[in-house]
Chain A
Amino acid sequence: MSEIALEARNLFKVFGKNPSQAVRRLKAGESRTAVDDAGTAAVIDASFTVNRGEIFVIMGLSGSGKSTIIRMLNGLHDATSGTVTVNGDPITGIPNGQLREIRRDRISMVFQHFALLPHRSVAANVAYPLELKGVAKAERLAKAAEILSLVGLEGLGEKMPSELSGGMQQRVGIARALAADSDILLMDEAFSALDPLIRREMQEQLLELQEKLQKTIVFITHDLNEAMFLGDRIAVMRDGRIVQIGTPEDILMDPANDYVEQFVQDVDRARVLTAANVMERPRPVVPETAGPRTALRQMRDAYMSATYVVGRDRQLLGVVTDRDAVKLVRSGATTLDSVLKPVLQSVREDEVLMNLFVPAVESPLPLAVTDAEGRLVGVIPRVTLLAALGPGPGATEEIILPLMPMPQAEIDAVLDDGWTDPGPSTSSGTQDAFGSGTELTEEVR
């Protein structure tokens, strides 16, 4: 089997009087509003592929055509033009019986308002797809119980759907879709009807389930945060057209046009961007073989009071402070081993920014970023972290730091020079300031 589970090629859907004429005109380059007289174009020239095992999110505002697209993927809506293939088999333009077979065996769906059968118990709802497949009653109820426990609803099979909360009802909806045992799961705004806390919980549960089951999921949403959280790839839709397809980071860092950019302005960047997206070249850093002098030089150049020490393969070993390094230089030591301190705060490169704030505050150095093997791949200074939260393309580029303060010794030297008497002059200056202040206010009066 190929890696592509689902493919849509040049899909059009027009509702109205003369759909085929509208499609012809749209293909000739007319705009959506121009063909209004022939029909309402819900989906215009949509092409995308969904890989096996990925969560593909289609995101757009209401009326952007996303619900129409997902209904074309299982044939609930006929495509006016274009093709949909499931595992390489076309589902557009095939007889109804064959389409029903594909729906029974290969594609299942989760609905926004759950669409449970209110007159059947929870278990009977979950067993419904199996019933349609002709599975014997005892077997399908056993399977239903198994799947209910998978979604965390064990023992609730005898209840009626109306006795469950919204979140639980949607779990039944998901359980029903899983019971069909199809590779592809279509989720139409599955969590939009739930309140925010439950929604978050369901999103996390979906990711957990996905880790276990590795289904191919097409997820529709109007919530960009949800799209960013769930999606391996995201298609952004506007007015029936797909305007950009890419990973969450692509969409956020490199919006295809103003529309997408406006959209991503509101996104919670702290939950989407990862340490790897914003980190900078690691600095200051010295290899463990270096001596204290090299370390001191590095620190001076970076205006830092400590430096990271890495071993072979850039393994992060620890930290050396300037005071310790100075002591080593004075004592004539040539290795850093004796003063190496453990790194108190470091983060993995796939950690989202949300989780970096506390470590960044607690870390004396720019926050160390390591990869899965514990190698130092970058650092994140606090200013970089702050800047990354703002919008704009430059936010994640290397930051130019403001002018560094002069070394303290120099300032001290200037202050100690003694060309004025520091004590009286400051006090008289203050008096002057106060005096002129009062005068000013009197004048104003």
Chain B
Amino acid sequence: MDGFRIPLGSWVEAGVDWVKVNLDGLLDVVSFVVTFLVDGLTSLLLLPYFFVVIAIAALIAWLVRSWQLAIGTVVSFTLIVAMGLWVPAMQTLGLVLVAALVAVVIAVPLGIWSARNATVRAVLKPVLDFMQTMPAFVYLIPAIVFFSIGVVPGLVATVIFALPPGVRLTELGIRGVDSETVEAGQAFGAKPGQILRGIQLPLAMPTILAGINQVIMLALSMAVIAGMAGADGLGKMVVEAISTVNIAKGVEAGLGVVLIAVFLDRVTAALGTLGQNPASLPAVIRRRGAQRQATAAAAASAPIVETTVEEKELQNA
């Protein structure tokens, strides 16, 4: 077997070098945009007092799910502050949100495309398998070559790693829409775009949102790896804790990731069933309103004669 060696790695390396040399301008643009987005979002999160951010997060939780989740949000975010992790936590949150956003922007259209085209599906499937099973650290190497140390390679690796469930669940959701319902759209003469927007996307939305939830979770799990590439945040603290065998720091930073993960998971999961969460703020307000209307109607219908007289007066006026 001596001498039998396929230099696959060297070929890829040569390819990476070629990209680095020839597409440097493109890489610079990507780097600039990503840095701008992450830094912008992070400084936006760090701009107001921490309790303002906590209040907004709690309000979002209440809007989509329930007041219980809002309280849980307040408690966990306060704990993050109390552990002195507010700044790295917001840096991580900024990174994760931007990464998830980029991943979703790429994944959902890809999912739609592969749901509508068997060839695309056939090509995409092995690629997605590859992306998901390749150890995530490996993406860091070319990413660092392209973008050098910092937040950008971490984000690129995160996007690649978090992309597949978004594509898959979007495709699954759209293909899972009852074929008869789609046929109904066709039978009444809807254009493909009308079917997509009016039937397929709305009906696939719970599945697509489950995919987005998965994307966010994977992005968060990549936060530590992004820390290895030099991105600031909780991930970087975990890496430091490992290298100095600092248990206290490691546990606190890890706990910070967990708390953010729980918040993001609950909120995005609730988005999938939006409108069906009976304890959410809009639902409560709607119910109250309906009750008030019902009582008002009951009160109005009881003295029939008076109301009609009043109505007449109103009309005359």
A109 touches B189 (CB 8 A): no
Q: Which residues of A contact B190 (CB under 8 A)?
A: 100, 132
Residue of A nearest to B192 (CB): A96
A74 CA to B188 CA in the complex, in Å?
10
Question: Is A128 at the interface (CB under 8 A from chain B)?
Answer: yes
If A113-B178, A119-B202, A132-B194 touch, whether A180 touches B184 (CB-CB below 8 Å) is no
Question: Is A104 at the interface (CB under 8 A from chain B)?
Answer: yes
Task: Encode A113-136 as 1/0 by CB contact (under 8 A) with B.
Answer: 101111100000000110011000
Residue of B nearest to A102 (CB): B189
B189 touches A132 (CB 8 A): yes
Question: Is B28 at the interface (CB under 8 A from chain A)?
Answer: no
Interface size class of B (residues with CB under 8 A): 10 to 19
A115 touches B203 (CB 8 A): no
Question: Is B191 at the interface (CB under 8 A from chain A)?
Answer: yes
B203 touches A109 (CB 8 A): no
Task: Encode A75-116 as 1/0 by CB contact (under 8 A) with B.
Answer: 010000000000000000000000011111101110111011
Residue of A nearest to B184 (CB): A115
A100 CA to B195 CA in the complex, in Å?
12
A226 CA to B40 CA in the complex, in Å?
68
Task: Encode B182-224 as 1/0 by CB contact (under 8 A) with A.
Answer: 0110111111001000110011000000000000000000000
Residue of A nearest to B190 (CB): A132
A107 CA to B183 CA in the complex, in Å?
13
Question: Is B181 at the interface (CB under 8 A from chain A)?
Answer: yes
- Scan residues 148-191 of chain B and give those whose CB is less than 8 A from a CB of chain A: 178, 180-181, 183-184, 186-191
Task: Encode B288-314 as 1/0 by CB contact (under 8 A) with A.
Answer: 000000000000000000000000000
Q: Which residues of B contact A117 (CB under 8 A)?
A: 181, 184, 198-199, 202-203
B183 touches A76 (CB 8 A): yes
A204 CA to B88 CA in the complex, in Å?
71
Q: Which residues of A contact B186 (CB under 8 A)?
A: 76, 103
B199 touches A113 (CB 8 A): no
Q: Which residues of A contact B187 (CB under 8 A)?
A: 74, 76, 103, 107-109, 186
B188 touches A128 (CB 8 A): yes
Q: Which residues of B contact A116 (CB under 8 A)?
A: 181, 184
A117 CA to B187 CA in the complex, in Å?
13
Q: Which residues of B contact A102 (CB under 8 A)?
A: 189
The smallest beta-carbon distance between A189 and chain B, in angstroms, is 11
Q: Which residues of A contact B188 (CB under 8 A)?
A: 103-104, 108-109, 128-129, 132, 176, 180
7 A-B contacts (beta carbon < 8 Å): A74-B187, A100-B189, A103-B186, A103-B189, A109-B187, A111-B180, A117-B184
